[in-house]
Structure 1
Amino acid sequence: MSHNYVIDVSLDANGLDCPLPLLKAKQQLNRMSSGEVLEVLATDPGSQRDFAVFARQSGNVLLSSEEAGEGFRYLIEKK
């Protein structure tokens, strides 16, 4: 079941290895307002675990985590 979220900011972290996708996402979220949605595109398989743990620890909401083409797509709602 696919949800259609409004994406406020898109971050292309393709080709970056851990922990860079997560660090770049954290930096971007710090510049965003509560309720905004960040889309992150990444190719690092370790990013799946990283984003799940980050969402639990940070209080932000991981709306979606899915495989997309050669990589992964995450939607994170800033809290």
Structure 2
Amino acid sequence: MKTGNNLNNLHVDQELDLRGEICPYPFIKSKLILEQMSEGEVLRVIVDYYPAVRNITKSMEIEGYHILNVDKLGEIDTAIYISKPRI
């Protein structure tokens, strides 16, 4: 998992704004969207609940998804970039 702002060549296919949501809903909603996406596509998930960052990243890796980057957007908001693996 990468952290920081190295997103110059990253194409985001869908964005999911989950600010205001608490666990486990950010993971569940993110996974439902990813299941509908095509292989190799990237989902950007924005959360403002810090425990959701760890929950989403760990759970997605366990499920076989790739965490491309985690980017702090300010004091509270965080963007998580997840790709659906190519099979």
Q: Which residue of 2 aligns with 1:64?
A: 69
Q: TM-score scaled by structure 2?
A: 0.84
Percent identity over paired residues? 30
CA deviations on 1:24-57 (whole Å, 9 max, x unpaired) are 1001001100000000000111012112212321
Aligned length: 79
Q: Which residue of 2 aligns with 1:39?
A: 44
Runs of 4 or more above 3 Å deviation: none
Q: TM-score scaled by structure 1?
A: 0.91
Answering whether residue 11 of structure 2 is matched by residue 6 of structure 1, we say yes
What are the ranges of 5 or more consecutive residues in structure 1 without an aligned counterpart? none
Answering whether residue 17 of structure 2 is matched by residue 17 of structure 1, we say no
Instruction: Please state which structure has a larger fraction of its residues in strand.
Output: 1
Output the aligned Cα RMSD. Answer: 1.2
Find the partner of 1:74 among 68, 76, 80.
80
What are the ranges of 5 or more consecutive residues in structure 2 without an aligned counterpart? none
